[in-house]
A and B are shown apart, each in its own frame.
Chain A
Amino acid sequence: MSAPPLLSIRGLSKIFDEVPVVDRINIEVAQGEIVMIVGPSGAGKSTLLRCINRIEIPSEGDVLLAGVNMAGESRNGKLAADPPSATARKRRRIGMVFQRFNLFAHLTALDNVAIGPRRVLGAKLSEARALAAEQLARVRLSDHVLKRPAQLSGGQQQRVAIARAMAMRPVLLLFDEPTSALDPELVGEVLEVIRSLAEEGMTMLVVTHEMQFAREVGTRMLFMDQGRILEDAAPKAFFADPQHVRAREFLRRVHATAPA
């Protein structure tokens, strides 16, 4: 028997006010894949990510992480819903990076990263901070460990947020438009960090509007529109010859506005 895929999404839907924002989506993601999710705004990309770690509770369907259902335990063929504490435990294995960083405003960069290991994993404060310092060094922020989020640039904040996610030693990282709230000159430093994580073999799903980056770093492209995945292809194939008409339109619009 072969190992289950790292992430398996089956028939996933999220319905808001009778509108399916995510509409019966099926994806399997293997260990080490770097999946870039693109599409027009309102396509359901963010909601899909948020359903994976249950920040948003899906209306239908299953999400399995390494074969473990994120929603509950299977007993006699029926799914018994998890208590909140079990959901929290399962979430630890999935890191998430948000568009608006969402750093804890009252904590220093160091404690933003340390609080997960400290409070969730029960590490000693000194150990948690040592681990946090290590993670911050990886995103090249060793000089800023004692600053509050408000004292950091957007790019620095987002790198702290990545370190915070990595400190939990996740098996999967979700990026929800990680550079969309950044000034143009700060986009590069964040993309660099994501690229280096990709090179280390981290499995990740990245919702992004950075097409150049998606093409270079992604191992797989998903194109979403109106809650459906219309295209699932290798980056080369996707950019060279998109199959679906809406994907072609989307790429044409993106290219029309992108710098040469």
Chain B
Amino acid sequence: MGGFDWSAITYAVPYMLRGAVVTIEISFCAMLLATLVGLLLGLVSASRLGVLKGVVRVYVYFVRGTPALVQVFLVYFALPRIGLELSAFASGVVALAFNSAGFIAEIVRAGLQSIDTGQSEAALSIGMTERQSILFILLPQSLRRITPPLTNEAITLVKTSSLLSVISISELTRSAQVIVAKRFAPFELYSALAVYYLVMISALSWCSEYVEKRLA
């Protein structure tokens, strides 16, 4: 058992910081995209739009039933085939959002369906359409309930972003791997990597607790 190689860590810190910035950027963009898409899909699956609902169900089934790593590869190799030549960063965002939107759709659907049916009946009784009822009555009430699972999903997304190292995006995990190859200090560097993620996730949890308190 050798000593802890601190020099490897001091060497790695600035590189990994750059990687962390990429991870944050990618996660932020992906979360934004995933929330928008997931919200839309969730609204569809809580509505009575039969065919669209079926499409969403198949999508969610796929996202849940396949490993995120496989999804990352699929998106990365599928996009060029349908004529979308995206940068590594953009395909990373799309891959992460593709995964996360499926889970967010389920969170939103469950949130909407957890609201007492009396609320939508009352909305219909004053002449609202189903769309108005979802938009003005059910969605505002479910926001408070879906915030905790939504922040969980954001945390999962940040961690899942480490998989993007396989499509050569120089995010945090990838930058650590590069230095491991140079300095042969895997234990030290992966420990540092863990600390980086812990700090980011802690900041995220703290934010979500703050938001939850504000909504309560």
Contact = CB atoms under 8 A, between A and B. Distances in A.
B118 A92 contact: no
Contacts of A106: 137, 140-141
Interface string A27-70: 00000000000000000000000000101000000000000000
Contacts of B127: 88-89, 91-92, 116, 120, 168
A55 B121 contact: yes
Contacts of B132: 119-120
Interface stretch (A16-24, A96-104, A193-201, A210-218): A96-104
A94 B121 CA distance: 13
A182 to B, nearest CB: 16
A123 to B, nearest CB: 13
Contacts, number: 65
B74 interface: no
A104 B132 CA distance: 13
B124 A102 contact: no
A84 B118 CA distance: 19
A98 B141 CA distance: 20
Interface residues of A, number: 27
Contacts of B121: 55, 98, 102
Contacts of A155: none
Contact of A102 (B118, B128, B130, B140): B118
B50 to A, nearest CB: 13
A126 interface: no
A98 B140 contact: no
B130 A115 contact: no
A100 B118 CA distance: 8
A53 B130 contact: no
Given A98-B118, A106-B140, A106-B141, A53 B126 contact: no
A257 interface: no
The prevalent SS among residues of A at the interface is: mixed
Interface string B14-33: 00000000000000000000
A7 interface: no
A142 B132 CA distance: 27
Nearest to B137: A104
A95 B125 CA distance: 6
B114 interface: no
A91 B116 CA distance: 21
A120 B135 CA distance: 13
A85 interface: yes
Nearest to A99: B118
B119 interface: yes
Interface in B41-86: none
Interface in A120-160: 120
B136 interface: yes
A105 interface: yes
A103 B122 contact: yes
A228 interface: no
A164 to B, nearest CB: 7
Name the residue in A100, A120, A161 with the highest tally of chain B Cβ atoms < 10 Å from its Cβ: A120
B129 interface: yes
Nearest to A103: B122
A105 B126 contact: no
Interface of A: 53, 55, 84-85, 88-89, 91-92, 94-96, 98, 100, 102-106, 115-116, 119-120, 161, 164-165, 167-168
12 contacts: A53-B125, A55-B124, A85-B129, A89-B127, A91-B124, A92-B127, A98-B125, A102-B119, A105-B141, A106-B137, A115-B126, A120-B128
